[in-house]
Structure 1
């Protein structure tokens, strides 16, 4: 039995969590918000009750800051009137149901065609640490016609994972920002960064180990199963992005009987080793620069970086070396331009090749005290570098990102290992290697390693891999298929999680959730002319 809707109540709200078994709705739940539903955090049956709340309201400035274009602000507001929002108290430690509790924030956009409803799709955000609270609106209903169509026959479910946004969270002081001066990273500077990171890791983890030690992919997957039960769903279908693919794999591994169709875009590897992760991403980034170099060479009259891909490669590698020898500080740019900045431009995906190529060309001949226009445009930072807009939701929690990554990192290298890995990386990748730092995020993290659960399953699963991207290297998609099964959907672009943004690909995603069938792949984001 499904719970009765409350969509007629303007500004109200959603459902949240329960135990990991299907339970029929109580009369109080069917009636919608009530004093008893809010007051009682647990029902006598052991099922957590939903605390219904009004959805947040946002100013136009905040809405635009969420990436909503001016022509879609009114549609966003209309969808927010349909969105249901709620929280529930659940155990912080799933092995201690009577211990400390935390709140999880969940949203639901109910299917518009209730008579032909197929179920619920949970949108699994990236990160770790990204908010998914507004994903039913931003990633589904508002994205394009193809994705909006999913909401006709599916409820779209969003959530802020534990540690993020409107859910219970904690904050640690950030670790070291990077080198204390521009130019090539020296062993002495790297050692200072390493030691400072070790100290920051120990300070953070020891500030609230009971909470931070429970920030893992598996625990978020267990939270998600409580969401499923609270919503009265026998199964959840999954739409995961980036780290959300790890969450989807964990959920499917832990709760195969509760998993319906799953589409995972820009697939994470089936292992957790940050040294190996950086090495794989770096190799893919340098390889994709070969495509960029060939593209720039065909437009040498515009960019002047070389008439062949080899010449472009040599020119960019020379720029990396030259700007490391003589870093430039511009009066109107906070970031000094050194070899790492040049390498960052060489690492951009194809949607940014025209601007990145223009910035590289500007750096070849730059003079003066102010940054060339395209260089300034690409390194100014924008709104994310300033103070947050009042009333804006938290879209990324760096403490959660930090804790999950380090709780699950199986490498945690000593300094000698990290420094050697960095030196080899820079040597192997002359164009893009300087954009990476040493793999020193998790050394000294004092909490035990808790790798996510990864098991082979027989349920419906599509793994979307992007042939040329580096944030989720295509080979990781193939490794994941060997580990967990499923079908590979190949996207012929280099753009992270682009599948649902490109109408052709989004149509395939919608068809998959409606029919269980999907084509072998799509072109993805178009390479610029």
Structure 2
């Protein structure tokens, strides 16, 4: 997440993704998908699932989804079991007899039907992430432990409205042109801010009837109609990142339809993007302290200093130096300035080895081509072209619309500029990676915020002690707001719980027995 505008930084922090789109100076046009039109066969009554054939993917596409080469055959086998369909829902739930849209749904039926316990709905991150293939990718294929969840549970996936195979519209985000590398000046920040206001206004006004209905509450209401269409009296919820907030909203709206919920990397129980940015930035700088201590213990390898304090000072000095004198390499699409250095300092522990090498390389880099670790970590294209035939994994229009429809901060420029200056001053190692901390200025649609409520249903909140995408304190705030049991993961890796076998075993055991321990170690720190 480097060389970013404010929109990109905040959107990716919400989505939990590592991508590099440039959106602040976007212009917007809208093209409605065919599925966004009214469905004449739908009625205001309860819909059933309209089952159809699942999509087919090439091996190349399957690998692009993060499937290892030795698991491609297993993916194909699971796809033969996967059921795919759509459920018709109202675009506006307050007008159930009005315009209908389709929600894409998938189901991986329990393998032990005789001992079936129910259905687990996987709630994807974002907002804007696809969940269509989650029964395969996040459950059955993830590891042996998570595969066990499918023995006694149907695993339900879906694309939320605005995403993937569900009804959606698209604002076209066009780069505003190359930004000057180096220290962000007030004049340059003003241009970024103004361009973002114009883009938000054009996008929001392009199809307000649809975009205004992209809210977490409406996604939760869609999910409950999916539950009904599947014939389930209750749903179990397995939520990730933004999906944890969706889980909170679903439980608040439909406590009688919710059995158990396990929410991993918990979102805050509020939707102010300015506060989100401040909390995340503070957590990122704190976690860099852990990275600095790790690097200091390996000074012979990285040469960044023998104490955590020295490493901190060295990296902060690198941020300033590269802002004062950015470097351009012939084999990178982006210049290396202070934001790039800060991005390396913000990596989680799974990338400390490579990030440490890149930081060390930048201390002594010469020549016209990027050093190897720098190129490996910072050499990805700013905008990736989707592979032909690949499913949509993130819909940026939905990400923007949900975030902005629910954000009542929408800071003016003077406030945004002041907040940015404070952020960089307070967080000298990582602060420059965030950019101007705004996302929604100029968004023309009214604020719509859900009301969270306590319920008696079983709820587990999995918080990661050191991560910045979902700050651990948000887990505690959520518990105070709606109750639940805190499950502490002692790592800094976003939504890692189901990826780590010992932690995943706890998740499956919870859904089978209702029992949960205090936490797990999570992803291991590199040796």
Pick from 495, 500, 509: which aligns with 1:511? Answer: 509
Shift of 1:50: 2.2
Instruction: Answer whether contact 2:460 2:486 (CA < 8 A) is retained.
Output: yes
Hey, what's the Cα distance between the residues in 1 that align with 2:325 and 2:477?
42
Map of 1:431 onto structure 2: 429
Aligned length: 489
What is the distance in 2 between the residues matched to 1:420 and 1:447? 25
Deviating 4+ runs (over 4 angstroms): 175-179
Q: CA deviation at 1:457?
A: 1.7
Matched residue, 1:22 = none
Q: 1:442 aligns with which of 440, 443, 447?
A: 440
Q: Which residue of 2 aligns with 1:194?
A: 193
The residue matched to 2:217 in structure 1 has which SS?
Answer: helix
8 Å contact kept, 2:491–2:524: yes
**Aligned residues of 2:121 and 2:155 also touching (Cα < 8 A):** yes
Deviations 1:403-453 (A, max 9, x none): 000000110011111110110000000000000111221011110101123
Q: Describe the superposition over 1:267-299 as per-residue Cα deviations: whole angstroms up to 9, x where unpaired.
A: 000001111000000000000000000000000
Asked whether the equivalents of residues 425 and 433 of structure 1 are also in contact (C-alpha less than 8 Å), the reply is yes
Preserved CA contact (<8 Å) 2:404 2:443: yes
Aligned to 1:348: 347
After superposition, give the CA deviation of every residue in 1:365-390 in whole Å (9 maximum; x if it has no partner).
000110001100101116x8432211
- Distance in structure 2 (CA, Å) of the matches to 1:390 and 1:453: 41
Unmatched tracts of structure 2, length 5 or more: 1-38
**Uncovered stretches (5+) of structure 1, i.e. residues with no partner:** 1-38
Aligned to 1:284: 283
Partner secondary structure for residue 79 of structure 2? helix
Equivalence for 1:477:
475
C-alpha separation between the residues in 1 aligned to 2:87 and 2:254?
21
Residue 175 of structure 1: how far off its partner (Å): 6.4
Tell me if structure 2 keeps the 8 A contact 1:464–1:488: yes
Q: CA deviation at 1:41?
A: 3.7
1:257-272 aligned within 5 A: 257-272=256-271
Report the counterpart of residue 313 of structure 1 in structure 2. Answer: 312
Q: Distance in 1 between matches of 2:42 and 2:91?
A: 15
CA deviation vs aligned residue, 1:58-106 (integer Å, no higher than 9, x gap): 0000000000001000000000000000012211000111222111100
CA 1:374–1:245 in structure 2 vs 1: closer, same or farther (change >3 Å)?
A: same
| 2:51–2:85 contact (8 Å) kept in structure 1 | yes
Aligned 1:31-70 pairs, distance under 5 A: 41-42=41-42, 46-70=45-69
Q: Provide the rounded CA distance (Å) in 2 between the counterparts of 1:179 and 1:63.
A: 33
On the 8 A contact 1:179/1:185 being kept in 2, the answer is: no
Aligned partner of 1:174 in structure 2 is 173
Task: Quickly say closer, same or farther: Cα 1:177–1:140, change in 2 above 3 A.
Answer: farther
Instruction: Output the CA distance in 1 between the equivalents of 2:105 and 2:61.
Output: 20
**Residue 153 of structure 2: aligned partner:** 154
| CA deviation profile, 1:112-162 (whole Å, cap 9, x unmatched) | 111100000000000000000000000000001110000000000000000
- Tell me by how many angstroms 1:360 deviates: 0.2
| Whole-Å separation in 1 of the counterparts to 2:67 and 2:94 | 41
CA distance in 2, matches of 1:349, 1:73: 28
- Which one has more relative contact order, counting CA pairs under 8 Å at least 6 apart? 2
Residue 5 of structure 2: aligned partner: none
Q: Is the 8 A contact 1:344 1:432 kept in 2?
A: yes
State the alpha-carbon separation in 1 of the partners of residues 395 and 404 from structure 2. 14
Is the Cα contact below 8 Å between 1:490 and 1:521 reproduced in 2?
Answer: yes
Deviation at 1:255, TM superposition (A): 0.3
Matched residue, 1:252 = 251
d(CA) in 2 for partners of 1:349 and 1:42?
A: 47
- Partners of 1:285 and 1:175 lie apart in 2 by 29
CA shift at 1:177, angstroms?
6.1
Q: Distance in 1 between matches of 2:344 and 2:176?
A: 20
| Cα pair 2:87 2:229 within 8 Å, conserved | no
SS at match of 1:355: helix
The TM-score normalised by the length of structure 1 is: 0.91
1:165 aligns with 2:164: yes
Select the residue among 462, 465, 488 that pairs with 1:464.
462
Aligned partners of 1:133 and 1:159 also within 8 Å = yes
Q: Does 1:115 align with 2:109?
A: no
Match for residue 519 of structure 2? 521
Asked whether the equivalents of residues 175 and 196 of structure 1 are also in contact (C-alpha less than 8 Å), the reply is: no
In 1, distance between residues paired with 2:398 and 2:303?
A: 44
Secondary structure, in 3 states, of the residue corresponding to 2:266? coil
Is contact 2:149–2:508 with CA below 8 Å preserved after alignment? Answer: yes
Q: Which residue of 1 aligns with 2:377?
A: 378
2:406 matched residue in structure 1 = 408
Q: Distance in 2 between matches of 1:97 and 1:475?
A: 38
Deviation readout 1:292-334 (Å, 9 max, x if unpaired): 0000000000000000000000000000000000000100001
In structure 2, C-alpha distance between the alignment counterparts of 1:60 and 1:520, rounded to whole Å: 40
Do the aligned residues in 2 keep the contact of 1:50 with 1:88 (CA within 8 Å)?
A: yes
Normalised by the length of structure 2, the TM-score is 0.91
Name the residue aligned to 1:488.
486
Question: Relative to structure 1, is the Cα distance of residues 284 and 145 closer, same or farther in structure 2, using a 3 angstrom cutoff?
Answer: same
Matched with 1:325 is 324
Indicate whether 1:94 and 2:93 are aligned.
Answer: yes
Question: Tell me, what secondary structure is at the counterpart of 2:262?
Answer: strand
Assess if the C-alpha contact under 8 Å between 2:48 and 2:230 holds in 1. Answer: no
RMSD: 1.3
1:182-201 deviation line (CA, Å, top 9, x unaligned): 00111111111111111111
